[in-house]
Structure 1
Amino acid sequence: MRNNLQMAQGIISVLAILCLVIGWFGMFSPEVNEIISRKLFYLLIGLSFILQAPLLSNAKFTYPMYAAAALCIIGAFLPVESNFSFIKTVGLLGGVIISFTNRSVNRQ
């Protein structure tokens, strides 16, 4: 099961990076690019964090990773003009920090 979760998490992460590339290079209309790079990207990252949370070696990071995922997913549904749209970025940064912190714990 662990390998399946890791594989699914890896595939979703690659899809999220593809969303960023599409947004950067403007491969579609501005509206579609915005949906892909500002909405779908954060949904995929949130899903990736959800799949990664049970795989973390330090159990103290599991619920913060779920919280980071929730912020990404909730933020993806907020309008870009919203005063709260920054929460998706907070979720992304939090999840990345947790992910890197977990990796440094694994090396010791």
Structure 2
Amino acid sequence: MKNQQSIQGILSIVALLCLAAGWFNLFSPEINNLLSRRVFYVLIGISFFLQAPFLTNRNLMYAMYGAAGLCIIGAFLPLEWKISGIKTLGLLAGIIISFTNRPGYRQ
């Protein structure tokens, strides 16, 4: 569990660095787009995938796998496709699932 949290933490930090690189235009436009519109979502998807088995509610576990899949699949779709927005849907779903699985949350 602790090792899984460390890996998730590292993935999250690297993902945020990718997002920041795109926002602040630290590299060429192509690299910035790659980092902030693709690599970021792949890393977040992997983080959600690693988190899923540790969710206490089985339905939330499957939903988190779905969110991870949306992030990763959406990251590989051409950016001009409207359906590529599923990566953002996956990101929002994963964040909501993460918060609803906190110990203080009551169902």
Scaled by the length of structure 2, the TM-score of the pair is 0.94
Aligned counterparts of 1:11 and 1:59: Cα–Cα separation in 2: 26
1:99 aligns with: 98
Paired with 1:68 and 1:60, the residues of 2 have a C-alpha distance of 12
CA distance in 2, matches of 1:53, 1:107: 18
Q: CA deviation at 1:57?
A: 2.4
- RMSD of Structure 2 on Structure 1 (CA): 0.9
Give the CA deviation at 1:82: 0.6
Deviation at 1:83, TM superposition (A): 2.0
What do residues 7-61 of structure 1 show as CA deviations (whole Å, max 9, x unaligned)? 1111101111111111111000000000000000000000000011112122221
Q: What's the counterpart of residue 77 of structure 2?
A: 78
Partner Cα distance (1:45, 1:98) in 2: 13
The question of 1:65 aligning with 2:57 is answered no
Tell me the number of residue pairs that the alignment of Structure 1 and Structure 2 aligns.
Answer: 105
Aligned-residue sequence identity (percent) comes to 60
Question: Within 2, Cα distance between the matches of 1:9 and 1:57?
Answer: 17
User: Where do residues 40-51 of structure 1 align in structure 2 (5 Å cutoff)?
Assistant: 40-51=39-50
- Aligned mates of 2:55, 2:12 — CA distance in 1: 16
The Cα offsets for residues 63-105 of structure 1, whole Å up to 9 and x where unpaired, read as 10000000000000001101211100110010001001111xx
Q: 1:55 and 1:24 mapped to 2: Cα distance?
A: 32
For 1:27 and 1:100, how far apart are their aligned partners in 2? 31
User: Which runs of 4 or more aligned residues in structure 1 lie more than 2 Å from their structure 2 counterparts after TM superposition?
Assistant: 57-60
> CA–CA distance in 1 between the matches of 2:59 and 2:74?
24
